[in-house]
Structure 1
Amino acid sequence: MPLKKLFRSAHSSAQSLPDISAGSTIQPESPDNHWTDIWGVLREAPDRGKWNDAHWKSRAVQRSLVEAGRHAGRSRVEYVAPNIGFHLLTRDFFITAINTQTKWLVLIIFAIYLALSFAWSVPYYLLLRYSPGCIYGAETYVEMWTFSFITMMTIGYGNTGPQACWAASWVIAIQSISSLLVEAVTIGIIFARISHPKQRGRSIFISDSAVIARRDGVLKFMFRVADIRRTQVVDPKIKAFMYTWGEGRVTAEGERIPVRCEAIDTGYIDGMLILPLTIEHTIDEKSPLCGHTHDSLVALDAELVVTFEGTTEFGNPFMARRSYVPSDLAWGHQFVDIICRPAAGETHYTIDLDRFHDTRPQEGLPPLPPAPLSQLVVSRAKRTVPYPLLGDNTLALADSLVLYRGSDGGLRLAARAADTYPNQALDVTARMYLYRWSDADAVEPGQPPVSIVQLECGYVDGTDRLHLRLPVEVAHVIDASSPLAAWDGPDATAALRADADAEVVVVLSGYLYSTSENVLRQRTYVVSRHVRAGCVFADIVKHPALTKDRKPRVRWARFHDVVPQQGEFLEDGAEEEVGASANSGLDSAFADAPAPSE
């Protein structure tokens, strides 16, 4: 920020407009307070975040691997061993010197030069006392100390200097060479500190808090990153890791592993970094955050460490780092908009860095403490589909199953699958699994409480693949060989009631052609809550003849909608009565049921 703008912002923030009412007087502002406010603005570290005293004191006493606040990014890990400092100083002197605090480095350099000047003044004084004629124009020790300092800085003598004396000449030569080496090391350390690219990391802004919220119905972990310089960072990379402690774990061999570190995939990043980016991590079955809430993260002493790596335009690599503990996670929040488009007649975009770290609650969420709010965010899933973004997992499954009769009269259990970015996912396969849970009181010792069978839906052998240019149905035909054959028998009502707590898991898997990464989409449907009997999925594909560009269109807003099937659900009267009873029970249970889990 230019200095003129900085003082202007400080001046505007330091002044306030008092309310002027009848009989009131305006007290002149104290110059001391004015300059104090300006000094406060100058000392601010906007890249470190907005930390009030209460939050800073609370965060400072929490256990963490990486510091936050004014010293954000600095490691809190201390290695303890006898003489470890001496080992680093002697075996890794240059890095140790560069990483020394500036005040200590300046004091050490002063001390070294003063010590050397006093050390070399001793032989000069001995020459003055016991070898008269070697050094002219000096009589006291102070003059010899000054002579030593002059020799160490530069060889240019005036009223005091050496004469034709081999002893003085040897001392001057040795001191000059040793002083040259000391100066070379000192200049190297100072230049390395000045040119060290780690200061480039101070122009990389990473939000002081992260959010866990839903975007287009998908649960995501998000934080914001920006590069406030106009010079481009070469090959920027963002990595994230989750450290969990808890009680640790013990291996089969008795080894105790106290901490677990898992990588968090941050996906695609804009290599230009012209505008601030909100980095997303999808919390799905492959995510280390899957299933976690605020309480579980606190119990595990979880810490999420984010690193930004890049290279300056001069080829020097640098890094910025930030960590988030559970108190830094804002559940059900989103970052405020800070990008301002230019008005008419203007050409520059504006980024409001004063609000870079700010978040606000998402609409429709009640003001709750972090623990219950996190449970609500995790369990709440809107009837949405993934945003069609290249490189993202855009596979979608409807939030209910339908049970209907096909044109051949056979009973079908179907799910709807789609790719919101058509054909981005290739070699997509679909599988259905039925989980039948036994009665908890009837489970015998040694017997599993659940039986798992696969429902054949045309993709068992793996030779068939879904072509997801448009949404398709994945159907399991209920015939005599089906595990669900009882649903279409004379005791259909009893069979449906027996399977009320059963779960149907539908899994889509494939890989993205843009990133060559495997993707997975999974939903779990409870029979009593998510199976819509006597219904079919609503038609959402618009015929090409009805569009202007003669291309089919998908009404994604109705992707999850189901409608009653035309005609009779079951064939004869007795079966129709059974089916209607079962259908009514399923529909009434589904009306107030939460969305199926992903």
Structure 2
Amino acid sequence: MANRKTEVQRRIVSKDGHNNVRIENVEGMVRMYLHDIWTTVVDMKWRYKLTLFASTFVMTWFIFGVIFYFIALGNGDFEAGLNSSHTPCMMNVETLTGAFLYSLESQTTIGYGFRYITEECPLAIFTLVAQLVITGLAEIFVTGAFLAKLARPKKRAETIKFSQLAVICRHQGKLCLMVRVANMRKSPLIQCQLTGKLLHSNVTEEGEKTQVHQSSVNFHMDSSGECPFLILPITFYHVLDEHSPLAGLNAENLHTRAFELLITLNATMESTAATCQSRTSYIPQEILWGYEFKPVLFSTTGGRFVADFKFFDKVQVINNAALLSNNTEKQKLEEGYKNE
């Protein structure tokens, strides 16, 4: 029994929308990541990105400092007993440390002071130009990756709240699975679309068994097919009819079924017109049969509406026992008997 419970609890997507699938034994993964270096850098964690940012500057300073050092060494600037007519490639650069400081100053400023380049070595001039071009491109790349990560709507998606539990009860005469969604910011989200995927094992007609099969689960807001304006907490409904992948679900077999319901909300931010996506998932233990959400929206005496999130995850039992039944055939027979 314990093993079965653990198996049911295994989930592909966590409650906060993170992917729990680990990728292993992929041949050439490093090469693939380097081939798409931009996405790799943008997806980096902040600690790695800060390390990359700092190491980019330090490494370019050091590498070009070493190049300048060898140029000066080849020009004989470090030899003892130089005559007064000898002009070094870089003035006041006598050690590797001095070359490093010259490289740092060349990359970070256009006004030279104690150390500066002379006209004696064309190779040093070419190296200086190459350094400024290469490091300029590297700075653009790293800075762009920083801005791209900051501008990603991932953090905005974290301000979209899903109810911790899903409920099943009757709504407008139909048995529905309900989830509640709310926008935690005052800035509204437009063109919201809530979609669902039922992840479960499946056996095809040919006898092929798939461990994770995806079936579409359609959600709507009441009877409207339009995209809702997410400024208030909204309850989305999925009708459990014969066309639903959850057909046949009832109060008795709910917790014995093995599936995971992945919910995805796609929305557009009104302020930036960027698209954000937020996800969560529900397993059978997080779906309550015969419950409904408590009201979360209240009106005040001043004519304003208040969304009290203390009640956002609160549910209550349906009092009418007839609403808890999902036996469709029985209901049809009862309705036919009443019509007669």
The answer to whether the superposition gives a TM-score over 0.5 is yes
The residue that corresponds to 1:277 in the other structure is 234
The residue that corresponds to 2:277 in the other structure is 319
| Equivalent of 1:100 in 30, 44, 52 | 44
1:379 Cα deviation (Å)? 4.5
SS in 2 for 1:121: helix
The residue that corresponds to 1:362 in the other structure is 318
Mapped partners of 1:151, 1:296: distance in 2 = 72
The residue that corresponds to 2:61 in the other structure is 117
Relative to structure 1, is the Cα distance of residues 89 and 260 closer, same or farther in structure 2, using a 3 angstrom cutoff? closer
1:112 Cα deviation (Å)? 2.6
Is 1:128 matched up with 2:128? no
The residue that corresponds to 2:182 in the other structure is 226
SS in 1 for 2:158: helix
The residue that corresponds to 1:513 in the other structure is none
1:270 Cα deviation (Å)? 5.3
1:59 Cα deviation (Å)? 9.2
The residue that corresponds to 2:111 in the other structure is 156
The residue that corresponds to 1:339 in the other structure is 297
Per-residue CA deviations over 1:334-359 (Å, capped at 9, x if unaligned) read 2222112121xx24321122432222
The residue that corresponds to 2:213 in the other structure is 260
| Equivalent of 1:91 in 4, 13, 35 | 35
| Equivalent of 2:336 in 401, 418, 421 | 401
1:282 Cα deviation (Å)? 1.3
SS in 2 for 1:278: strand
In structure 2, give the amino acid aligned to 1:95: T
TM-score (norm 1): 0.49
**Percent of aligned positions with the same letter in both sequences?**
23
Per-residue CA deviations over 1:54-93 (Å, capped at 9, x if unaligned) read xxxx99993111112xxx1111223334345313322322
Mapped partners of 1:255, 1:64: distance in 2 = 22
Unpaired segments ≥5 residues, structure 1: 1-57, 366-375, 384-395, 403-414, 417-535, 537-598
Bigger relative contact order, structure 1 or 2, given CA contacts below 8 A and separation 6+? 2
The residue that corresponds to 1:142 in the other structure is 97
The residue that corresponds to 2:261 in the other structure is 304
Mapped partners of 1:83, 1:401: distance in 2 = 63
Mapped partners of 2:269, 2:281: distance in 1 = 23
Mapped partners of 2:241, 2:305: distance in 1 = 35
Relative to structure 1, is the Cα distance of residues 78 and 84 closer, same or farther in structure 2, using a 3 angstrom cutoff? farther
1:330 Cα deviation (Å)? 2.0
1:149 Cα deviation (Å)? 1.9
Mapped partners of 2:263, 2:188: distance in 1 = 21
The residue that corresponds to 2:324 in the other structure is 377
Relative to structure 1, is the Cα distance of residues 147 and 300 closer, same or farther in structure 2, using a 3 angstrom cutoff? farther
Unpaired segments ≥5 residues, structure 2: 78-87
Asked if structure 2 preserves the Cα contact closer than 8 Å seen for 1:88 and 1:96, the reply is no
TM-score (norm 2): 0.83
Per-residue CA deviations over 1:115-152 (Å, capped at 9, x if unaligned) read 22221111122233342211112323222212222223
Relative to structure 1, is the Cα distance of residues 155 and 83 closer, same or farther in structure 2, using a 3 angstrom cutoff? farther
Asked if structure 1 preserves the Cα contact closer than 8 Å seen for 2:190 and 2:227, the reply is no
In structure 2, give the amino acid aligned to 1:335: F
Asked if structure 1 preserves the Cα contact closer than 8 Å seen for 2:13 and 2:262, the reply is yes
The residue that corresponds to 1:348 in the other structure is 304
Mapped partners of 1:282, 1:61: distance in 2 = 24
Residues matched between the structures, number: 317
Per-residue CA deviations over 1:160-219 (Å, capped at 9, x if unaligned) read 111112122111111111001101111110111111122221222221221122335532
Asked if structure 2 preserves the Cα contact closer than 8 Å seen for 1:294 and 1:326, the reply is no
SS in 1 for 2:219: coil
| Equivalent of 1:65 in 12, 35, 46 | 12
SS in 2 for 1:235: strand
Mapped partners of 1:119, 1:207: distance in 2 = 54
Relative to structure 1, is the Cα distance of residues 301 and 113 closer, same or farther in structure 2, using a 3 angstrom cutoff? farther
Asked if structure 2 preserves the Cα contact closer than 8 Å seen for 1:291 and 1:378, the reply is no
The residue that corresponds to 1:6 in the other structure is none
Q: Which has the larger radius of gyration?
A: 1
SS in 2 for 1:222: strand
SS in 2 for 1:350: strand
Relative to structure 1, is the Cα distance of residues 234 and 220 closer, same or farther in structure 2, using a 3 angstrom cutoff? same
Is 1:178 matched up with 2:134? yes
The residue that corresponds to 1:212 in the other structure is 168
Asked if structure 2 preserves the Cα contact closer than 8 Å seen for 1:244 and 1:300, the reply is no
SS in 1 for 2:334: coil
Mapped partners of 2:93, 2:7: distance in 1 = 59
